[in-house]
Amino acid sequence: MLRRSFFTHAGGIAAALGYQSGSPAPAPKGWQATRHEQDDWFELPGKHRVFFDTWTASRFPDVTRFGGNIYRANKDGYGLSESDIAMVVCCRHETAPFAFNDAMWKKYGTIFCARMEWVDPATKEPPSTNIHGRQLSNFVKQGTHLAICNLTTRGLTQLIAQQTKQSSDDVYKELTSNTLGNGHFVPAGVVAATRAQERGYAIISIG
């Protein structure tokens, strides 16, 4: 009875203070995320915003399938054009190399694949071209932007520099100059996902 009385009184006190069991504490009224100018590129034109967060190489084909569906369904079902859709594909962790063009894959494909722990599913070998490059390039032409994880790019830079005896600065400059287009090197892909959500993007996770 004493135990039951304690919890009854405790529940009454919590209710009086505005807390409910299982409910998170309410966010401060009027709270808004701080905006940073390095994220201003997220302000893309469009009526709808979608952000694909990707990090696993083997799942990356879903990006091209679902991205195509985004464009097609908005056109067929809503009469919207490509310019009405602000779409960002985030390439981080294992998927960052898919943001680079064929020239980089020809030179560093083996190193990319070792870092990704991935090979071309069709050949079971490291490819010498970006096997998703054509579809991603088509998306870029339709207005898609790429958010590329700088942390992962720096990691790739160190691996390539060590294995090819080049300077890290030269490798980093080469990689960042050879994206598929509309590429933005963000401090970290996971941070970009949160910044995009704060700016009104719907997040689709493909991990």
Residues 6+ apart with CB under 8 A from 190: 92
Q: Does 188 fall in a domain? A: yes
Kindly report, residue by residue over 24-67, the tens digit of the pLDDT.
666 667 899 999 999 999 999 999 999 999 999 999 999 999 99
Q: Does 142 fall in a domain? A: yes
Residue 194 is encoded by which pair of tokens? 């949160």
Distance CA 87, CA 82 (A): 9
Q: What is the mean pLDDT of the chain?
A: 91
Structure confidence at residue 145 (pLDDT): 98
Q: How confident is the model at residue 15 (pLDDT cuts 50, 70, 90)?
A: very low
Distance CA 47, CA 77 (A): 15
Distance CA 152, CA 190 (A): 11
Q: Does 22 fall in a domain? A: no
Structure confidence at residue 41 (pLDDT): 98
Q: Has residue 2 got a pLDDT over 70?
A: no
Q: Across residues 7-34, what is the average pLDDT? A: 60
Beta bridge partners of 147: 90, 184
CATH at residue 86: 3.40.1260.10
Q: Does 175 fall in a domain? A: yes
Q: Does 75 fall in a domain? A: yes
Structure confidence at residue 84 (pLDDT): 98
Structure confidence at residue 190 (pLDDT): 98
Beta bridge partners of 204: 52
Q: Has residue 172 got a pLDDT over 90?
A: yes
Residues 6+ apart with CB under 8 A from 86: 44, 45, 46, 48, 49, 50, 143, 201
Give the residue numbers spanning the domain of 98: 43-206
Q: Does 24 fall in a domain? A: no
Q: Does 29 fall in a domain? A: no
Distance CA 102, CA 180 (A): 9
Structure confidence at residue 28 (pLDDT): 67
Q: Does 23 fall in a domain? A: no
Per-residue burial over 48-79, b if 16 or more Cβ lie within 10 Å, else e, is: ebbbbbbbebeebeebbeebeebbeebeeeee
Structure confidence at residue 23 (pLDDT): 58
Q: How confident is the model at residue 3 (pLDDT cuts 50, 70, 90)?
A: very low
CB atoms within 10 A of CB 166: 14
Q: Across residues 7-33, what is the average pLDDT? A: 58
Kindly report, residue by residue over 91-116, the tens digit of the pLDDT.
999 999 999 999 999 999 999 999 99
Look at the chain and report how many structural domains it folds into: 1
